[in-house]
Amino acid sequence: MYALGWGIAIYAIMYLLWSGLVIYGLAAGVLSLVVRLVALAGVTTIAARSLHLPNWKDLVPYTISWAVAAVVLDALFLVPFSGWSLYATWSVWVGYALVAILPILPTLASFKRSQHAAPSRVA
């Protein structure tokens, strides 16, 4: 259930953010891209940490399901307005990949740090 719930939540937050940027004329440009990337990284990291999984490999099925949820929700909400050509745009697929990859990075980094930590000495 976490997979579907977080997938919908991530999509809703990013959709709301995009809508706000469009309304205020800020959708184009580098600032918009940075804001969207930071928001996506933040919300997906929160989602990933809420699962309390011990290993980054356990997280992968969840993040892939979040990306699949985004694909399906785009089909439901965006295709009626923009058409199926939406999926011909490379940046859309990069967005789906980021949904799947970004939440794994902090977990992977902490996993690698714990592997390289010096073993404690018992006296």
Whole-number pLDDT of residue 55: 87
Sorted by where each begins, the domain ranges of the chain are 2-104
The whole-number pLDDT of residue 54 equals 84
The structure tokens 């977080």 sit at 6
**Is residue 71 exposed (0-12), middle (13-18) or buried (19+ Cβ within 10 Å)?**
middle
Give me the average pLDDT of each 10-residue run along the chain (123 residues): 88 96 93 95 94 90 96 96 94 95 84 59 54
Task: Specify the length of the chain in residues.
Answer: 123
Instruction: Tell me how far apart the alpha carbons of residues 41 and 96 are, in angstroms, rounded to a whole number.
Output: 12
Residue 5: what pLDDT?
A: 93
